[in-house]
Amino acid sequence: MTGTPKRIFNSASVPPEKCVFCKIVRGDLPSDKVYEDERYIAFLDINPFSKGHTLVCPKAHGETIWDMKEHEIGELFMTASRVSKAVVEATGADGFRFVQNNGEAANQVVAHVHVHVIPIGLQQKGKVMDRLKFPDQEMKDTAEKIRASLTR
């Protein structure tokens, strides 16, 4: 690709100091964190499509995947792959989805690059998934199971 890519519209655009995910990275907002290293973090989605739905994102602020270098994109998806194995093991899922939205038109709600790791059961095959809400303790228990799977 040559030249500068078109800017992707996102009405949720904010500077890093106001970004919800940057606040989670800094520890200014709570999260059910399941993984963290020097460059990436993973935590449970607060409005998940399924139990264990996890978000994996770079700690560095960038709105879309176009804001990342190619090796960073690779690292992000390698991290998401590692997290997906733990999510599937911890939830007993039959499969999983990676979803990575860029821009409002693609349903990106938080303007910070992230990959959704969504565990799926066979009973959900072909069905439209709605956002869910789980009690705080259930979220904490799920996060603990994912963390335990990651350490094996």
Q: Report the chain (152 residues): mean pLDDT per 10 consecutive residues.
A: 71 91 97 98 98 98 96 98 98 98 95 98 90 97 98 88
Nearest to 87 by CA among 47, 128, 120, 132: 120
**What six digits make up the tokens of 147?**
């963390």
- Residue 4 is predicted with a pLDDT of 65
Active site residue 114: yes
Query: CA distances (Å), 79 to each of 36, 42, 66, 75, in order?
Result: 10, 9, 18, 6
Rg of the Cα trace of the chain? 15
- Residue 92 is predicted with a pLDDT of 98
Distance of CA 19 to the CA centre of its chain: 15
**What six digits make up the tokens of 129?**
């998934």
Task: Give the predicted TM-score (pTM) of the model.
Answer: 0.93
- Residue 152 is predicted with a pLDDT of 84
- Residue 99 is predicted with a pLDDT of 97
Helices (H) and strands (E) in the chain, counts: 3, 5
- Domain limits, the chain: 16-144
- Catalytically annotated residue among 53, 61, 112, 114: 114
- Residue 37 is predicted with a pLDDT of 97
| H or E element that contains 41 | strand 40-44
DSSP 8-state assignment for residue 8: P
What CATH architecture applies to the domain 16-144? 2-Layer Sandwich (3.30)
- Residue 5 is predicted with a pLDDT of 66
* Cβ partners under 8 Å of residue 122, min gap 6: 94, 95
| H or E element that contains 90 | helix 70-91
